[in-house]
Structure 1
Amino acid sequence: MPVPDVSAKPLADLLSLRGRRAVVTGGGRGLGRAIAARLAEAGADLVIGDIDEGSAAAVAADLAGRYGVRATGAAMDVADGKSVAAAADRSVSELGGLEIWVNNAGVFPSVPLLEMSEDAWDEVFAVNARGVFLGAREAARCMAGAGGVIVNIVSTAGFRGSAPGLAAYVASKHAARGLTRELALELAPSGIRVLGVAPTYVPTEGNRLAAAAAGFDLDDLPTDLMATGPIGRGGVPDDIARVVLFCASDLSAFMTGSTLLADGGDTA
């Protein structure tokens, strides 16, 4: 099932997601919330999945009111196959289908290697790698025969080492990047494209809490990380959300398997 040639479409139609249905995991705050907002602005109907059902419902209500799309919040544990399948089924039953899936949910703990237990390692992989696998599997099940796009939020840590204490995180993000390439090959015959987006550190609620737990100064951290980068400023969630929108739209119709660095030149 080849992805169609969209060369004749005007730019507005290439960017529009009107009539498409999307699931965003970890959509109750941070990057997920910003991603969901851009998809909704482009016209997509949404299932906002989050471990915190109340946050997911609040984001869904806000986006429905702002953009006139259909949006619903769902409790979702991305490490639990039944929970992920339920969110996918909800998109089909309540919204009528599924064309876009964003594997955004992730965890960012900092534990020195010699202090890390097997359980701590497994918890990181359960969300950051198993969660990507489960989300992609359920998305592909729903998209089979009709095509769609899966976008995996990777990290610059999927390209390099990051910082002491992040062995599990870095390894899990390399796994997510590898899954992106493999899933692109496996799902291409079904007309499903798979792309990754690799942000640098962005000061979201979750990242700031993780940074504080690791002993970093929350006020100085974004500046310290990006001051010497080519862009000359720290990133904000919408910087990442716009790249995800590009991946989810027909603007990227000839792309699959790539992981796009959204890092202000930090990895250059």
Structure 2
Amino acid sequence: MTYPFADVSAHSLPALLSLEGRRAIITGGAQGLGFAIAVRLAEAGAQVAIADLDVGLAASSAETITARFGISALGVRMDVTDSASVAKATDEVVATFGGVDIWVNNAGIFPSQPLLEMSDETWEAVFAVNTRGVRNGAREATRRMSCGGVIVNVVSTAGFHGIAPGLSAYVSSKHAVRGLTKQLALELAPRGIRVVGVAPSYVPTEGNMAAAAAAMAAMTEAGVDMQNMPTAMSHSLIGRTGTPDDIARVVLFCASDLSLIMTGSTLLADAGETI
């Protein structure tokens, strides 16, 4: 069997980093970590499509990127839990850009509910977005990547260990995505498609800060002693909490030819949290 991965050892560093001529879709890309990823991919030369439930915000974010970098950017509505929605949005991107070379599965949710209080609906909703959404995105990406490409799954350190009370659904879903990353890499290598995971620790985005506040309120109401709870900073070995751009630069590495030898692995972008 022939595997269509070129040896790029003779390429210059700028050439390895460049995404010029490539087309990228970032799910949940209208704000926060997704937007930071879209910005870095665009800076490297990629045309970027921002896929989000909030199509107005996605379009606005795409306009910001176009104005900043002078590249083609597009905002599309996508519900990652709905196969038809993912396919329709992808068709819209392909009609505009001509194809897809990079797909970043970034969309995710993380409601905090103790196990004994968690409804079946909450559990299913987390897996619908965080796990089935990754499957849906990877499937549509694979159908469109006729000449190979890269799928980057945003996993989380929750894919390596438990992180806080009330997050059993989130932690389970991210362990599943880490496993799915390995399996997709195995299945898609003959097509010239690499699949890589990036596992961030907590970074302050709009969604993360709101979720953290809700989780703290729920634990306080449940009588948990918050004074003894570890914080993101208590685990950092670099003296600060990570930023969205810290993670976006790791995703850029994964999406570029700098990481061409890598598939199936999940990179920890966690300031040493999981040591």
TM-score by length of 1: 0.96
Give the corresponding residue for 1:171: 172
Letter of the aligned partner of 1:260 in structure 2?
Answer: L
Match of residue 213 from structure 2: 212
Cα shift readout 1:119-140 (whole Å, capped 9, x = no counterpart): 1100000000000000000000
Alignment of 1:247-266 (within 5 A): 247-266=254-273
Find the residue that maps to 2:165 and give its secondary structure: coil
Q: Is the Cα–Cα contact under 8 Å of residues 235 and 264 in structure 1 kept in the other structure? A: yes
Return the offset for 1:212: 1.1
| 1:1-268 to 2 correspondences below 5 Å | 1-143=3-145, 145-215=146-216, 224-268=231-275
Larger radius of gyration: 2
Q: Secondary structure at the match of 1:77?
A: coil
Q: Which amino acid aligns with 1:54?
A: G
Instruction: Confirm or deny: 8 A CA contact 1:181 1:258 kept in the other structure.
Output: yes
Structure 2: distance between partners of 1:211 and 1:234 = 14
Please report how far the alpha carbon of residue 228 of structure 1 lies from its aligned counterpart in structure 2 after TM superposition: 4.3
* One-letter identity of the residue aligned with 1:20: R
SS at match of 1:24: strand
In 2, the alpha carbon distance for the partners of 1:228 and 1:98 equals 37
The corresponding residue for 2:224 is none
Stretches of structure 2 lacking an aligned partner (at least 5 in a row): 220-226
**Larger mean Cα displacement after TM superposition, 2-11 or 84-93:** 84-93
Give, in angstroms, the shift of residue 264 of structure 1: 0.4
CA contact (8 A) 1:25 1:48 kept: yes
Q: State the Cα RMSD in Å.
A: 1.4
Unpaired stretches in structure 1, ≥5 consecutive residues: none
- 1:209 and 1:167 mapped to 2: Cα distance? 18
Deviations 1:126-155 (A, max 9, x none): 000000000000000001x30000000000
Runs of 4+ with deviation above 6 angstroms? none
Separation (CA, whole Å) in 2 of partners of 1:106 and 1:38: 20
Q: Secondary structure at the match of 1:23?
A: strand
Q: Distance in 2 between matches of 1:255 and 1:214?
A: 35
2:235, 2:272 within 8 Å by CA — same for their partners in 1?
A: no
Specify the code of the residue in structure 1 equivalent to 2:253: F
Contact 1:20 1:44 in 2 (8 A): yes
Per-residue deviation, 1:46: 1.1
Mapped to 1, the partners of 2:195 and 2:88 lie a distance apart of 21
Contact 1:47 1:87 in 2 (8 A): no
What is the Cα deviation at residue 227 of structure 1?
Answer: 3.6
SS in 2 for 1:162: coil
Cα deviation for residue 91 of structure 1 reads 2.1
**1:51 maps to amino acid:** L
User: Residue type matched to 1:208 in 2?
Assistant: M
* Distance in 2, Cα, partners of 1:159 & 1:14: 30
Deviation at 1:2, TM superposition (A): 2.2
Aligned length: 263
Q: Are 1:156 and 1:199, in contact at CA under 8 Å, matched by a contact in 2?
A: yes
Is the Cα–Cα contact under 8 Å of residues 227 and 233 in structure 1 kept in the other structure?
A: no
